[in-house]
Structure formats: C-alpha cells, structure tokens
Amino acid sequence: MARSYDDIIDSKYITVAIYSDYPPFSYLSDGVPKGIDYEIAQRIAKEMQVDLRLQWMTADENVEDDLRNNLWKGHYLTRTVADVMLRVPYDKTYSLSRDDIGELVHEQVHMFAPYHTESWQIIYDQNKIESVTTMAVFQYHKVGVEVDSIPQFYLSSAFGGRMRDNAQHYATTLKAVNALQAGEVDAAMGLRTQISHLQGEMNNQRFQLAKNAFPMLGQQQWEIGMAVKTNYRQLGYAVGDIVETMIKQGDMEALFTKYHAVYQSPTLY
C-alpha cells in the first residue's frame, strides 16, 4: 500500500511512478533510466535522503485509470502502488470532477506541486513551408500527428474538416517527426515538450517551431504536477517544497534545457 511520510523516511526509500517509453520525460536508454521526470524523482529522493525506486507505468485509457492502477489501488495483477506519481494534471476543475451519481472521481488522491505548463506545438520544414502563422496552411500541406490523440481529432474536425485529408496518422509523435525528416509530411504536431526535445536533435535551421495559435482546440495550455494518496498530505507538502525550490532556483528550467525542451513555469509561481 501507499505509505506515509514517516514510513518512507523509516524505510529509507521512496517509490515514484513515472511513464515508460515517454521521452523526454522518462525512458530507458541502453537500460539506463533517463528523462526530465526521472531526474525530478532523483532530486526528490536525494532531498529526502532516501533511495529511489521506480514504478514504470504504461498509460491506460485515461489519467483516472493511471491514478487508480499506480497510486491508490494498484493494478489488478500486481496490486502494487507507488508513494508519488508524476505527470498528473494540475487543474482544480479536474481534481474536483464528479461521476454520474455525484461522487468525487478523484477522492482517493491529492494532486499538488505543478512543475510545468504544457501546450501543443507545430514543427515544420522551412524548405516546404515558408512560415506557419495560422492553421489554415494545412489545407495545402501534409502534417503528421499521433493517432488517437487530441491533435488528430483537432486536425480531422476543425474548420469544417478542411485539414482532414492532409492529416497523416502515426503510432507516436516520434514517428510523426521522423516522417517529417524523411520528407513524407511537411510538418508535425504534438506536445510542445516532446516536439522541442526532438527539434534539439535535428537541423534547427531547416526544422522550425511554429508560433501559431490553435483556434477551436479548447484548452490551449495546462499545468502538470504530481499526486499522492489523499490521506498522506504530509508527504505531499515535503515533495511540494522540493519542487518549489527547484523552480524558484532555476533548476527546473535548467533540467528542461538539458533535454532541449521548452520550459514554461506554472502560474502558481
């Protein structure tokens, strides 16, 4: 079961849940853990003076399932849970959402410590497109996008479906960006952190980050934080203080820069 702050200190280790195969956030490179979230987890363990144990998560259908499987109940096969889970939406409306009979959906968890503001991003081939100031350009140019993602639904339906035929679907954002480099598409759309991270490994003169907005997409930006089991607030306070220090001292931005990712501080700070 999830443990209290005192239990963690006494045991001399903390278990942190991070997503697997999700660069630049958390992934294995030649069997070695790497990524922004992994290094945040390392910092938390170091400041608490305990060892770090990782619980690698495979994304389920939604965040609610991920919280249940990894934080307060455990997967039906393993029943193991972590002490802290990273990359959780930090949104008051979401945290207080109710089900069809009026019960709190997230009653079992406490969401806290926003550490990054995420958004969507277009990257494009400047040899194919002069500039991307509006989404209207994709009525005439192909754009790669991850299948079953919000960008896919957006490109398929916005503006009366006029971009639908040019939206090319790929299994992951990485494969969409690889298709861009191979010349199969003229642009790609995905999470800003992932797109900027991938651009850092490409020809920055040829492949540019667009500065357009996304009309009719809905929420343009959202904050990412952490979660603990709801009755372990003391642990949340301790971890939150560590994250706040990282942000205010510039360590969080430096960490994102290390992975060639654009960083935007949450509005809380």
- Average of per-residue pLDDT across 73-96: 81
Residue 1: band (very low, low, confident or very high) from pLDDT cuts 50, 70, 90? low
Mean predicted confidence (pLDDT) in 173-202? 96
Structural domains of the chain, count? 2
The CATH number of whichever domain residue 70 belongs to comes to 3.40.190.10
Is there a domain that residue 216 lies in?
no
Query: Tell me, what's the pLDDT at 63?
Result: 81
Residue 204 burial (10 A CB sphere; 0-12, 13-18, 19+): exposed
DSSP 150: H
Q: Residues 165, 93: one domain? A: no
Task: Report yes or no on 218 lying in a domain.
Answer: no
Say if residue 138 is in the same domain as residue 236: no
Q: Are residues 102 and 128 in the same domain?
A: no
Question: Can you give the pLDDT at residue 78?
Answer: 61
**110 and 37 in a common domain:** yes
Identify the pLDDT of residue 96.
66
Does residue 9 share a domain with residue 108?
A: yes
113 and 9 part of one domain: yes
Tell me the pLDDT tens digit for each residue of 32-68: 999 999 999 999 999 999 999 999 998 877 788 888 8
- Tokens 């278990």, residue located: 15
Same domain assignment for residues 81 and 124:
no
Out of 82-86, 100-104, 112-116, pick the least confident: 100-104
**pLDDT of 74:** 76
Taking the CB of residue 57, how many other CB atoms lie within 10 A of it? Answer: 21
Give me the pLDDT at residue 198, please. 95
Condensed to tens digits (0 to 9), the pLDDT of residues 146-181 reads: 999 999 999 999 999 999 999 999 999 999 999 999
* Judgement on whether residues 12 and 36 belong to the same structural domain of the protein: yes
Query: Do 113 and 10 fall into the same domain?
Result: yes
Q: Is residue 68 part of a domain?
A: yes
Q: Are 171 and 233 in a shared domain?
A: no
Report yes or no on 37 lying in a domain.
yes
List the domain range (segments joined by +) for residue 94: 5-117+223-258
